[in-house]
Structure 1
Amino acid sequence: MGYRVAVVGATGAVGREILKTLAERDFPVSEVVALASGRSAGAEISFGEKTVLKVRDLERFDFTGVDVALFSPGAAVSAIHAPRAAAAGCLVIDNTSQFRMEPGVPLVVPEVNPHAIAKRPKKGIIANPNCSTIQMVVALHPLHDIAKVKRVVVATYQAVSGAGKEAMDELWSQTRAVFVNDPPVVEQFTKPIAFNVIPHIDRFMDDGATKEEWKMAVETRKILDPDIQVVATCVRVPVMIGHAEAVHVEFERPITERQAREALRDAPGITVLDTRDDGGYATPLEIAGEDAVFVSRIRRDPTVPNGLAFWCVADNLRKGAALNAVQIAEEVHRNGVLKAGGG
């Protein structure tokens, strides 16, 4: 028996990736409903190689009888429609920032804290973490089990696809403008992104951090350990797909490079590519479309007691968003939380 599944925000970059991932992983479905705003209603979108779905209007859709809905329409839209879906008996897996830090809403990375969804949450909503948080905690988790992470200093190098299709279009159009000597049109970012890096993702907060940097800190504590201290600098770079992070970790107990490398190799969802040769590391260009979090440049950090540094890269549309959401659906299917025909 399959589930009746709704994908909300189906016409966006993440929504399309969710549909693709559901099909590729053969998630048990009896019906898939593609939902988006009224202006996209009637459009056609692919589900797998043979099925074409007609997009339906989210505003008019009745979630009664839908078993699970994977949301990625933007926080403001999720704020309205995710509770509506949950009230109709649908289990919501929300990819936006709207519910992540809300009490009673599990924030889940299946390789790290699947126990958080051992039972159906009372609010009927499970949150997908921020894309940068996901790949970092996947890499930190096996190391935390060995030596207990005390403090993390991270700089991110985030692809424009994390800001949506319009941002990807802006990078393309600005890059083309440079070569034909046209002025770049800036709409999605605060400064030109082509041939540039911008140390500003989301809005600024009172302490000088951006909301994206705050998310990485509070989400890491909620998922992995409330005692971990995190300071992040989040940077947008002119890359289409794939977030990269330079991570420096201080542990409570000693841990060697060899221990770290072995633990990472044995951990689910991680590929270690670290040969200390020219090209012996992962970059966003080569990992686009891959499911794993790639870890490279594992080395000692001599500036702090029990310190290690590493580089990690992941496809932000897959593991950073769509894949993680589908893995959550697979987990609640596996543990019996999700039941077809009854939520």
Structure 2
Amino acid sequence: MKKYNVAIVGATGAVGEKLIQLLEDSSIAINELHLLASARSAGRKLIFNSQEVTVEETTESAFKGIDIAFFSAGGSITQKFHQAARDSGAIVIDNTSAFRMDPNTPLVVPEVNPEALRDHTYLIANPNCSTIQMVAALKPIEAAFGLDRVIVSTYQAVSGAGLHALEELEEQTKAVLAGEEPKANILPSGGDKKHYPIAFNAIPQIDLFSEDGYTFEEWKMMNETKKIMGLPNLKIAATCVRIPVMSGHSESVYIEVEKDGVTADEIREVLKDAPGIVLQDDPSTQTYPMVITAVDKKDTYVGRIRRDVDNPKGFHLWIVSDNLIKGAAWNSIQIAEKMIEMALV
């Protein structure tokens, strides 16, 4: 069995830490693991397979001999170092938005569009976390019944905004419970003019506002879904909301299928055996997906499936997944596993 030299860029971040943990469970045979981060994090010791690994500074020379490089340190770092990694012969699997909509870069969810990996030029983009779980659930439905329209409202965890946002949520929660005024410096977007507390709140803005009143997060969901599913004419709209949950994204999704006469039971039957999907849908026993049971799991959970009361082709679904696992680290590892399986690396 071939063994691979693997690098993680952003190893000390929230997704980087998950990558280290999940690589221990993956099918990738690792020869050497290189943990890369900023200069201020260099020298830290992290644990992989019960062994200490010293964090190194991310430099262009750090990719020499690397076969697979996972990038999860922000788009600017990807832009700065991706070419050096590729020139060294490494397959770059990027967890930022830097290349997701680049027409020459595959955007991949392995359960949905693995064949897109064959078109790689040593660079594969990992989709947005909220997009990944939705398309994983929608693909088997689209394959069976066609798909004409999608309207999604998200309930996204604070961990999607990084470790500092999580720390701020904890501080704000303590302040509110102590009767003090919570301080907000990060959400809804660190680069925007105003910041609002997330503790005991729901903020209908993730990322900056773009054209037509949609945020960049919403445009990501809409554009990425079309690209991944190969449906450029799909009618889709998104509203993305941040809620005071630590980890785990939830989504209320309305779809309209193309085929006549489809029933909710038929959709359940399709999802029951779909790869990476766990069906949790029994109202009589109050069985449905929840964040508290999905966190730290690799699957995407689907429930509350019901036909729309007015449109016979319309259906409602509730989709939950861990945004740091399937929404980021695990999907990246699955991409690498699939590339190895397809003899692409």
TM-score interval, normalised by the smaller of the two chains:
over 0.9
Partners of 1:51 and 1:300 in 2: CA distance: 52
1:107 Cα deviation from its structure 2 partner:
0.1
SS of the residue corresponding to residue 213 of structure 2 reads coil
| Deviation per residue, 1:157-213 (Å, 9 max, x gap) | 000000110111111110011111221110111211000000000110121000000
Per-residue CA deviations over 1:119-151 (Å, capped at 9, x if unaligned) read 5x22x1000000000000000000001111111
Letter in 2 for 1:101: M
Letter in 1 for 2:227: K
- Preserved CA contact (<8 Å) 1:153 1:231: yes
* Runs of 4+ displaced beyond 4 Å: none
Q: Is the 8 A contact 1:37 1:59 kept in 2?
A: no
1:134 — aligned with what?
Answer: 132
Deviation at 1:264, TM superposition (A): 0.3
Counterpart in 2 of 1:295? Answer: 302
Indicate yes or no: 2:268 matched with 1:261. yes
Candidates 175, 178, 189, aligned match of 1:177: 175
| Percent of paired sites with the same residue | 47
CA distance in 1: counterparts of 2:157 and 2:285, whole angstroms: 23
Corresponding position of 2:317: 310
Map 1:147-226; keep pairs closer than 5 Å: 147-189=145-187, 190-224=195-229, 225-226=231-232
1:270 CA drift (Å): 0.3
The farther-off stretch of 150-159 and 182-191 is 182-191
For 1:229, which of 214, 226, 235 is the aligned residue? Answer: 235
| Match runs of 1:61-76 below 5 Å | 61-76=61-76
Deviations 1:293-332 (A, max 9, x none): 0001000013334111100000000000000000000000
Q: What secondary structure is seen at the aligned counterpart in 1 of 2:59?
A: helix
1:251–1:305 CA contact under 8 A, matched in 2: no
Corresponding pairs, count: 335
Backbone CA RMSD of aligned residues: 1.1
Q: Structure 1: give runs of 5+ residues left out of the alignment.
A: 339-343
The one-letter code sitting in structure 2 at the alignment partner of 1:145 is A
Q: Which amino acid aligns with 1:172?
A: E
**Equivalent of residue 340 in structure 2, options 326, 333, 338:** 333
Note the C-alpha offset of 1:27.
1.9
In structure 2, distance between residues paired with 1:283 and 1:139? 16
TM-score normalized by the length of structure 1: 0.96
Unaligned residue ranges in structure 2 (runs of 5+) = 188-194
Opposite residue 41 of structure 1, the aligned amino acid is: A
1:246 maps to which residue?
252
8 Å CA contact 2:27–2:337 kept in 1: the answer is no
Q: Distance in 2 between matches of 1:22 and 1:227?
A: 37
TM-score by length of 2: 0.95
Counterpart position of 1:85: 85
CA deviation after TM superposition for structure 1 residue 60, in Å? 5.7
Q: Partner of 1:201: helix, strand, or coil?
A: coil
**1: CA distance between counterparts of 2:211 and 2:234?**
22
Q: Which amino acid aligns with 1:62?
A: A
Distance (Å, rounded) in 1 between the aligned partners of 2:236 and 2:340: 33
What is the correspondence of 1:51-62 to structure 2 with a 5 Å cutoff? Answer: 51-59=51-59, 61-62=61-62
TM-superposition CA deviations, 1:248-282 (whole Å, max 9, x none) = 00111132111100100110000000111353111
Q: Distance in 2 between matches of 1:226 and 1:159?
A: 29
Tell me, in whole angstroms, the C-alpha distance in 2 between the residues paired with 1:38 and 1:152. Answer: 44
